Structure 1
Amino acid sequence: MDEPGSQYALSLEEIGSEDVALVGGKSANLGELAGLDVPVLPGFTTTSAAYDRYLAETDVEESIAELLDGLDPDDVPDLQGRGRRIRALFESAEMPADLERVILDRYRRLASETGEAEPVVAVRSSATAEDLPTASFAGQQETFLNVSGERELLEAVKGCYASLFTDRAITYRVDRGFDHFAVKLACVVQVMGRADRGCSGIAFTIDPDTGFRNAVVIEASYGLGELIVQGEVTPDRYVVFKPTNGIIERTVGSKERRMVRRDGRTAVEPVPDRDRDRVALSDERIASLATYARRIEDHFGRPMDIEWLLDGVRDELYVVQARPETVHGGERERSIRTYRRTEDGEVLVEGVAIGTAIGAGPVRILSNVGDMGRFERGDVLVTGTTDPDWEPVMRKAAAIVTERGGKTSHAAIVSRELGIPAIVGAESAVKVLRDGEPVTVDCTEATGRVFEGELPFEVHEQPLEEIPGTETDVTLILGDPSRAFSLSRLPVDGVGLAREEFIVTSAIGDHPLYAIERGESERFVEELRAGIAKIAAAFHPRDVVVRLSDFKSDEYRNLRGGARYEPEESNPMLGWRGASRYYDPDFRDAFRLECEALRRVREEVGLDNVIVLVPFCRTPEEGRRVLEVMREFGLDTDGMDVYVMAELPSNVVLADRFAEVFDGFSIGSNDLTQLVLGIDRNSAKLAPLFREDDEAVERSTRALIESAHEADCRVGICGDAPSTVPGYVEFLLEADVDSIAVTPDVALQTIVRVAELESDL
């Protein structure tokens, strides 16, 4: 026999994912989690029958229908007025006596379970159309925190019911074709976790920007999680590689403020300086959270969007919400859409890019939701931050720019779902940008940029089913780790050249010896490790060839502190570079940092697909010295492949000898052309003579391939020639090269061309 009142309220243990129609998506998913090995705070949920009972007893449904008749969701002032009147109907009605009795009985059971006379709880809305695979309804209804006492609980339940008719919820249902009365609301009532004494955040089991599926992306900040969603703080960001549970990157956010409990209410207070610059979660907690996230994803069989907290009193992690990720979580993409600006312009502001698209239009600066009547479809929304009340206007924007917020802030989440490019954390955007001025918002790189004027751009869509397979590997030349996850969708065979130099210049900036002198060796290693790991994780298990640092002395001098460590050479191109540095007493300590970064990538993150490439190695003996130093610095050269860059005539002439030292070759066509023809590749005067398809260069290339294959070594090419020289791909296939590395912009065309040529050979 059913327990009296069970039609109106159920414990989380009594429900599961099949009960969405009864208790809504949020409650159903929490009930499902309670049956897994995932920590969930104790609580109960009201049901859709309770909501129906409230409507029937209070007789508000007819009034709601009248107020929604003839609604135009684009008429924002009218929408706001109607929504306000509907919510007032809910809040002024009396809770039916039988419903009140059931809710309070469940609350008293929680009191008994926790040993508290009036347990502090969180009351969250759970709509029956919420957290579906095709519609998240995230943030559409209200959450009430720090609710204590029976009267306050009943008022919170009524507030949740009323929030089914917030302006954003009404608009969301209209846009997606949901009947307003077909959507019902339940309320999850859970013991409040003490995140105010710990931290909280969000975890995606997929990269929310690119759809890369092998990562768990976690954001964390101190206190209750509302400030992250509201975009009021810059949280920490951690990326975990799913197959190994290794941490790819840790980015420390500023975490300036936190929301805490004070006298039964929430308050916002500054975070002490000592806590801002350290990570909110330990590596052990990050790994545990990633494990829970993967467990949840495996159970539901799709990517998930998870809210969590670390209870600072109990010192325990808890999952407080799990819903399907709706932007990338459905059917896998069948095409690749890429955006590219065709003109450059002046950068006005920068921030964190959300999505990978470009948008343009006139700036419309709004200071609060009351200004939304000024906004026209196609404007670029510029504001401090957004919350769910902004959604009716966000859906009309060509792009969105906010001064605050991280990758899981409200503006970021909604812009992804709407497919609108957005930049968050663009400090001073409201001051710098001018209302009405035309701008272009470019989110094609990790740093989003707002350009002056409406610049032309191209959109290219390539169906993946039209890309043929090839016998010869086609790989990428890649330096920027921020592009790795999005580029991983390309049907390539891995990365033929990942340049350490880009990571050093863009993420670190210091000469390695200067970093050591300043006591910042660990920062240097971690930044380098994170950059390499992101590229390797993106293409795992495909091979990623990482070239050791190949700065010339003049380039090293341009790094911070570089001038004190670098000689002034008359011809740096032929000077102290590549392999000759690694064993030199004047550079060994710097090389140790590179080796340690690579060791962590392979051993701690577990990315065994990394192949190390040694550049500018003049003799086989020099190669042996480099391998010896690598082993001394902790790299297992027997357990991983190490290639040599074939870019010197000596590499060609002594290919058989180099094959005794290294596991493979990667031809550097730029330096090989320079040294075979005796041409300074930086000379504008000699540029017409610099030809990778010169007969001498091609004969050298062919000879290298033949000698390497005789020694059973693989040979790839990673210079510019395959991307820029007409007919060069044909030559490489005829020479029987094993792999061709090209820049991402020509990867798809190269694959098609290679397939065509292979069919003719």
Structure 2
Amino acid sequence: MAADMPLVVWFEELGQHDVPRVGGKNASLGEMVSHLGSVGVRVPFGFATTAAAYWRFIDGNGLEETITSALADMDGGKATLAETGDIIRHAFLRGEWSKEAAGAITSNYRELCRRAGRIDADVAVRSSATAEDLPNASFAGQQETYLNVRGERALLDACRRCYASLFTDRAISYRQTQGFDHLKVALSIGIQNMVRSDLGGAGVMFSIDTETGFDRVVLINAAWGLGENVVQGAVDPDEYEVFKPFLAVPSLSPIIEMKRGGKAQKLIYAEDGDQPTRNVPTSKAERAAFVLDEPEILQLARWACVIEDHYGRPMDMEWARDGRSGELFIVQARPETVQSRREAGALKTYRIKRKGRKLAAGLSVGDAVVAGRVCVLERARDIARFVDGAVLVTGTTDPDWVPVMKRAAAIVTDHGGRTSHAAIVSRELGLPAIVGTGDATQVLHDGQTVTVSCAEGDEGFVYEGVADYDVEDIDLHGIARTRTRVMLNLANPAAAFRWWRLPADGVGLARMEFVINNDIKIHPMALVRYDTLEDQDARRRIAELTAGYADKTAYFVERLARALARIAAAHHPAPVIVRMSDFKTNEYANLIGGAEFEPQEANPMLGFRGASRYYSPRYREGFALECRAIRLLRQQLGFKNVIVMIPFCRSPREADRVLDVMEANGLKRGQDELQVYVMCEIPSNVILAKAFARRFDGFSIGSNDLTQLTLGVDRDSEALAELFDEQDEAVEWMIRRVIDEAHAAGAKVGLCGQAPSDHPAFAEFLVTCGIDSVSVSPDSFITVKRHVAAAEQAAATVAGAVRA
């Protein structure tokens, strides 16, 4: 090592080309300080020790022989991994600093204190290996970080411990797995001015969706206090998602998810004792509040885009907010290493067909389904009893768990978010994981056979027994383009990003009632009339769900808008048709507080549903909340690709009344690019198609209801099942007629239903009728696309023969 190589370099003198000198982490900090500070990205100032300082420490203390000998004994079976790591680390901790190295570190620390304006300034001491944070390898959590380090002696001690952490058991194991030579990896140490996030908050941020690879969102996790709890998965953080394409528009606030986490504890400075930090419980107010407000979320998301653009790849970042100044900072940035390398043209889908009782639920990591026997472990030191191929169940994981995680079929934890250690490592290993269940270690037991399902959206489930499920590999290359648009039917916002790679032409049916039932759970009128609600149990449950909302109706509006925004974002700028709520009265009554507002009906299928509710005094105020949500979705979040659809509209007169109510609530057809469609599911919609076409921009044929009401057959009747046929000539006459009438009036027509995927002949019939679009479930998309392409090809062949 050249004697004139510097031992310490300030961040502003570094760039991403300096990985061999200061490792990936410190090179990245230098790159951001040097190039991104001018565009507003704040990075705490600091300096880094170089690889030269590390090798000088190795040589000065004769450590190479110790390392080589210990590793040889391990490779030869004479020592365990734990014994080997312990020998090497203790040798480092006994090592002495050369006068030159100690002087370089302490003199630059004094300069840092001068810049900070404090004596013995508190600093973060971070490890940065010269082989880490590369695009094809993630050394997440392999080496140590020390926070709130004060004074020269404490700093030198923390730096020594950083060197030792290059040989933790997990780091040794990881380098061997990745094929890195232990004696060709050096350690740089970043000494960085502390952001007082112990008084504020901190977290992790990705410029890509971590589960699906959807590259048009920023994912942010946040918790109170220092950020280590988020990284380690020790808390259930808040989660925010932001749609990147709209961030350049100052008038928009494209936050498509704000999910409040439990945040049960926070890491703060310790005032006394040997440890510089300690965990304390959060207050009730802190648990009920979001860590970040909307301007802060948007600022971080914009920084994520700037950083991603600068590096030219998806990025994994850590951020912190100073509780004294209120300023936000980026404290780390590294390449994202999982989704960015995923094969773009391949899609593996899992579909649960039959499942056992639900035992636990949390945030899903990955999209696979796995069955296996449970192994509950409380501590990493218990891993000797782990059975290969079992489902690992534990409270939380840290890097010490990696050796056993590699042997697991799936991972389930009580705590943690999507950016926790368990989630990051599971993604890298390709394992399905469910994090933040809250109680998995209590409800699951050793030897129990379970199925871990991450195939049902953002929420993952542990089911009793072995579920029946299908696995399909879909090749997205070579799918034919069609004149007829093939769109998706979607109901679950949590699963929307799973299908972004499909070459769909938008969403033909997004079911609002599914979102209300699963995400909101409360009858809208129970929120409007909360103060006079008689059901005390309902009042209690509503109070719990709406905690943090001064206006309880805002809970409904904001959650509905953001949930629908996930669907709209996944397919923007293609059209997304959102059907206003289409519950039947018995289904509305099952919502929290709903029983007080719904009549008892003998036949809810043909009763008080759809359009008739929207202008009725019984529900008009509830419909106003739905309209407010659509207005927020389109105007504030920015999703003008959303089209509104009215279900079960019995007459043109009823259509006029609904359109009037919508306009009174700020949704006027034709204004601000708003299109309004109507469901075609009643014979009157066909008979009076011209009149409906004057009032609406398009029709969506609900083939199930239209068949039921055309043939007079209950679609749920087993006795009449053979009579229920969407290809019956009477039904086909209805479909052909509405398409002709709508097109003559300039309106579009689509069909949402299963029939085109089940019956190629029906798809061909729709194509020959000139239908504009068909909308199907995602798992049927490829099949229907092929049916439609074949039908269009056949029609073209016939037309060519006729012309000839």
TM above 0.5, yes or no, is: yes
- TM-superposed CA distance for 1:171, in Å, is 1.3
- TM-superposed CA distance for 1:367, in Å, is 1.4
1:509 maps onto 2:521 in alignment: yes
Give me the TM-score of the superposition, normalised by structure 2.
0.92
1:162 maps onto 2:164 in alignment: yes
- TM-superposed CA distance for 1:22, in Å, is 1.1
Partner of 2:108: 106
Partner of 1:470: 482
Aligned ranges 1:89-238 → 2 under 5 Å:
89-238=91-240
CA distances 1:340-361 after superposition (whole Å, capped 9, x unpaired): 3344223222222111111222
Aligned ranges 1:298-447 → 2 under 5 Å:
298-330=309-341, 333-445=344-456, 446-447=458-459
Aligned ranges 1:676-695 → 2 under 5 Å:
676-695=710-729
Partner of 1:625: 657
Q: Which amino acid aligns with 2:46?
A: G
Q: Which amino acid aligns with 1:42?
A: F
State which of 231, 254, 259 in structure 1 corresponds to 2:262.
Answer: 254
Distance 1:224 1:76 in 2: 41
Partner of 2:538: none
Give the match's secondary structure for 2:172.
helix
Q: Which amino acid aligns with 1:475?
A: M
1:48 maps onto 2:51 in alignment: yes
Checking the alignment, whether the CA contact within 8 Å between 2:760 and 2:787 is kept in structure 1 is no
Distance 2:718 2:467 in 1: 31
Please say which of residues 618-627 and 732-741 is displaced more in the overlay: 618-627
CA distances 1:164-222 after superposition (whole Å, capped 9, x unpaired): 11111111111111111222110110011000110001111111111111111111111
- TM-superposed CA distance for 1:725, in Å, is 4.2
1:654 maps onto 2:680 in alignment: no
Give me the TM-score of the superposition, normalised by structure 1.
0.97
Checking the alignment, whether the CA contact within 8 Å between 2:659 and 2:668 is kept in structure 1 is no
Distance 1:454 1:620 in 2: 52
- TM-superposed CA distance for 1:687, in Å, is 2.2
Partner of 1:29: 28
Checking the alignment, whether the CA contact within 8 Å between 1:76 and 1:373 is kept in structure 2 is no
Distance 1:570 1:431 in 2: 44
1:62 maps onto 2:74 in alignment: no
CA spacing shift, 1:70–1:635, aligned 2, 3 Å: farther
CA spacing shift, 1:673–1:454, aligned 2, 3 Å: closer
Partner of 2:801: none
Checking the alignment, whether the CA contact within 8 Å between 2:757 and 2:783 is kept in structure 1 is no
CA spacing shift, 1:571–1:456, aligned 2, 3 Å: closer
Give the match's secondary structure for 1:589.
helix
CA distances 1:662-692 after superposition (whole Å, capped 9, x unpaired): 1111111111111111222233332221111
CA spacing shift, 1:670–1:343, aligned 2, 3 Å: closer
Q: Which amino acid aligns with 1:27?
A: N
- TM-superposed CA distance for 1:297, in Å, is 0.6
Distance 1:234 1:437 in 2: 26
1:522 maps onto 2:554 in alignment: yes
Q: Which amino acid aligns with 2:748?
A: R
Distance 2:161 2:234 in 1: 24
Q: Which amino acid aligns with 1:428?
A: D
Checking the alignment, whether the CA contact within 8 Å between 1:76 and 1:392 is kept in structure 2 is no
CA spacing shift, 1:76–1:255, aligned 2, 3 Å: farther
Checking the alignment, whether the CA contact within 8 Å between 2:172 and 2:182 is kept in structure 1 is yes
Please say which of residues 222-231 and 713-722 is displaced more in the overlay: 713-722
Give the match's secondary structure for 1:338.
strand
1:499 maps onto 2:502 in alignment: no
Distance 1:426 1:209 in 2: 17
Checking the alignment, whether the CA contact within 8 Å between 2:113 and 2:119 is kept in structure 1 is yes
Q: Which amino acid aligns with 2:326?
A: D
Checking the alignment, whether the CA contact within 8 Å between 1:336 and 1:464 is kept in structure 2 is yes
- TM-superposed CA distance for 1:452, in Å, is 2.5
Q: Which amino acid aligns with 1:743?
A: S
Distance 1:77 1:656 in 2: 84
- TM-superposed CA distance for 1:525, in Å, is 1.2
State which of 488, 495, 498 in structure 2 corresponds to 1:486.
Answer: 498
Distance 1:605 1:562 in 2: 29
State which of 547, 550, 570 in structure 2 corresponds to 1:538.
Answer: 570
Give the match's secondary structure for 2:183.
coil
CA spacing shift, 1:513–1:258, aligned 2, 3 Å: same
Give the match's secondary structure for 2:408.
coil
1:734 maps onto 2:768 in alignment: yes
Checking the alignment, whether the CA contact within 8 Å between 2:655 and 2:695 is kept in structure 1 is yes
CA spacing shift, 1:340–1:697, aligned 2, 3 Å: same
CA distances 1:36-71 after superposition (whole Å, capped 9, x unpaired): 121011100111111111111111112211211264
- TM-superposed CA distance for 1:466, in Å, is 3.3
Distance 1:182 1:718 in 2: 60
State which of 239, 246, 249 in structure 2 corresponds to 1:244.
Answer: 246
CA distances 1:432-485 after superposition (whole Å, capped 9, x unpaired): 222123322111123222223344543221121132222211111110111001
Q: Which amino acid aligns with 1:85?
A: I
Distance 2:444 2:102 in 1: 52
1:565 maps onto 2:565 in alignment: no
Distance 1:71 1:461 in 2: 41
- TM-superposed CA distance for 1:303, in Å, is 0.8
Checking the alignment, whether the CA contact within 8 Å between 2:681 and 2:703 is kept in structure 1 is yes
Q: Which amino acid aligns with 1:119?
A: A
1:591 maps onto 2:623 in alignment: yes
Checking the alignment, whether the CA contact within 8 Å between 2:488 and 2:781 is kept in structure 1 is yes
- TM-superposed CA distance for 1:131, in Å, is 1.0
Partner of 1:745: 779
Distance 1:145 1:636 in 2: 55
Checking the alignment, whether the CA contact within 8 Å between 1:5 and 1:102 is kept in structure 2 is no
Distance 1:285 1:432 in 2: 38
Partner of 2:539: none
Give the match's secondary structure for 1:69.
helix
CA spacing shift, 1:5–1:198, aligned 2, 3 Å: farther
Distance 2:681 2:754 in 1: 13
Q: Which amino acid aligns with 2:88?
A: I
Distance 1:72 1:414 in 2: 25
Distance 2:74 2:572 in 1: 51
- TM-superposed CA distance for 1:694, in Å, is 0.6
Distance 1:630 1:81 in 2: 72
Distance 1:746 1:700 in 2: 24
CA distances 1:474-508 after superposition (whole Å, capped 9, x unpaired): 11111011100111121211111000010011111
CA spacing shift, 1:260–1:17, aligned 2, 3 Å: same
State which of 583, 588, 591 in structure 2 corresponds to 1:551.
Answer: 583
Give the match's secondary structure for 1:329.
helix
Q: Which amino acid aligns with 2:374?
A: V
Distance 1:403 1:485 in 2: 25
Give the match's secondary structure for 1:353.
strand
Checking the alignment, whether the CA contact within 8 Å between 1:130 and 1:137 is kept in structure 2 is yes
CA spacing shift, 1:551–1:173, aligned 2, 3 Å: same
Give the match's secondary structure for 1:682.
coil
Partner of 1:20: 19
**Coordinate RMSD, CA, aligned:** 1.8
Q: Which amino acid aligns with 1:39?
A: R
Partner of 2:799: none
- TM-superposed CA distance for 1:304, in Å, is 0.6
Distance 2:519 2:92 in 1: 53
Checking the alignment, whether the CA contact within 8 Å between 1:72 and 1:79 is kept in structure 2 is no
Checking the alignment, whether the CA contact within 8 Å between 1:723 and 1:743 is kept in structure 2 is no
